[in-house]
Amino acid sequence: MRFSTLMPLLLAAGVAQAQFGKGKGNQNQNAQNQNAQNQNAQNAQNQNNNNQNNNNNANANALALDPNNVQTNSQNDGLADAEPGQAASATDDANFINFCTGETLTNGLQVKAGSCNGIPMGKIPASNQMVSAVMINPVNGDQIAPNLEINFQVKIANLQAGSFTNPDVTYYAAPQDLQGGQIVGHTHITVQDTGNDANPTEPLDAETFAFFKGINDAGDGQGTLTATLAAGLPEGFYRVCSMTSASNHQPVLMPVAQRGPQDDCVRFEVTANPDNNQNGQQAQQGQGQQAQQGQGKAAQQGQGKAAQQGQGQAAQQGQGQAAQQGQAAQQGQAAQQGQGKGQGGFGGKGKGRRNRFASRQFVA
């Protein structure tokens, strides 16, 4: 073969080999790139799975009771050291976390048919931070004109007032909490008609009230809280009470059983004649004084009569029938005076008693 023919053939073979080798290199590179992409995708998927598992574990932990929160006395019915008449406590190994299973849940609602609330009671203050209240308007026995504005006022110690959650969807939905050691919450004013008597002997119907107001502000900053009833009240006898709650409307919880109450009540009267009580008392005093005066006069006159009788008898012995006649006249006159005055004194007493009875009907 001539040289001129061999050279083109060798050149063609070299080009072909070069192209073939280059293509094979590209395929290897592509394979490596594909493997890297697959590895990255797998790693990403694994990471996502791990994240999902972590989230699931977190959610599962939120629904689990932390062993550090188990209260072991809830496992004790208390009868071992009980005094006579004390009842056995219910027990549970897990803080009663499933106590409401199968029951209608409160779930932040005011369920009139009754429900079960699984929310913890919450934080309890120290005994030197217990809530205490006193009504300052009206005061016990006050008389108030009908259908006029009334500012009910209560002063409360150891309450961080002004925290009032939405009672339509958060009723009993969170535990009692503290701020600076004091309960965070608010109070209410509730007024009930006690009927025809300021001091009823039967419990009032808790579903019936003349006025109710939750106070959702912090008051004057010194513990005094006010609820205003612009329309006032009709005539009658009433009881007004404070009703103090934590933020989510549950009654405030105290640390010890032996204590003073956290709320206060007073009785008052709404009347168009607010001075009747005072007039009645004045009438009683005046009539009592008259009765005492009448009795005193009758006693004095009776003594005078006895003295006159003694003198008359002495005169009868020493002076005769004329003295007897004088004695008789004196006795008759003294007797008439004594009898008349005595009847007047008794009448005074009788009249006073009747007025006192009538007056008591107006005591609030």
Predicted confidence (pLDDT) per residue in 347-364, tens digit: 333 333 322 222 222 222
CB 192 within 8 A of CB 249: no
CA pair distance 316, 298, nearest whole angstrom: 26
Task: Locate 137 and state its tokens.
Answer: 């308007």
CA-based nearest residue to 125, from 244, 20, 14, 226:
244
Average pLDDT over residues 107-119: 99
CATH code that applies to domain 127-270: 2.60.40.10
Domain boundaries, the chain: 127-270, 276-360
Q: Kindly report the average pLDDT of the chain as a whole number.
A: 77
| Residue 213, strand partner residues | 189
Q: DSSP 3-state assignment of 46?
A: helix
pLDDT at position 195 is: 96
- 10 Å CB burial of residue 89 (0-12, 13-18, 19+) is middle
Give the number of other CB atoms < 10 A from CB of residue 362.
Answer: 19
Place of tokens 């009842």: 87
User: Cα separation of 59 and 51, whole Å?
Assistant: 12
| C-alpha distance from residue 194 to each of 148, 198, 212 (Å) | 19, 6, 15
Which H or E run contains 195?
Answer: strand 182-195
Residue 114: left if φ>0, alpha if ψ -120 to 50, beta else—which one?
A: left
Instruction: Identify the residue with better confidence: 288 or 267.
Output: 267
pLDDT of residue 274: 85
Count the Cβ atoms, other than its own, within 10 Å of residue 186: 26
Residues 6+ apart with CB under 8 A from 153: 135, 136, 137, 224, 225, 226
Amino acid at position 220, single letter: D
Question: Is there a contact between 185 and 242 (Cβ–Cβ < 8 Å)?
Answer: no
Q: What is the bridge-based pairing of β-strands 150-157 and 265-270?
A: unpaired
pLDDT at residue 190 is higher than 80? yes
Residue 243: DSSP 8-state = E
Taking residue 227's Cβ as centre, other Cβ atoms within 10 Å add up to: 21
| Whole-number pLDDT of residue 32 | 53
Q: How many angstroms separate the CA atoms of 356 and 360, rounded?
A: 6
Cα 189 to Cα 132: distance, rounded to the nearest angstrom: 15
Average pLDDT over residues 124-137: 99
Asked whether residue 322 carries a pLDDT value surpassing 70, the answer given is no
* Closest C-alpha among 101, 123, 245, 235 to residue 176: 123
User: Higher model confidence: residue 204 or residue 19?
Assistant: 204
Tell whether the torsion through CA atoms of 254, 255, 261 and 264 is positive or negative: negative
Question: Which of 312, 154, 121, 327 has the alpha carbon at shortest distance from 243?
Answer: 154
Distance CA 238, CA 144 (A): 11
Is the pLDDT higher at 153 or at 8?
A: 153
User: 152 in helix, strand or coil?
Assistant: strand
Q: 172 and 149 in contact (C-beta within 8 Å)? A: no
Q: Among residues 202, 193, 208, which one has the least CA distance to residue 238?
A: 193
Give the model confidence (pLDDT) of 288-312 as tens digits: 455 455 454 444 454 544 444 444 4
Q: Are 154 and 189 in contact (CB under 8 A)?
A: yes
Average pLDDT over residues 111-136: 99
**R_g of the chain computed on alpha carbons:** 48
Length of the chain: 364
pLDDT confidence of residue 364: 24
**Amino acid symbol at 169:** V
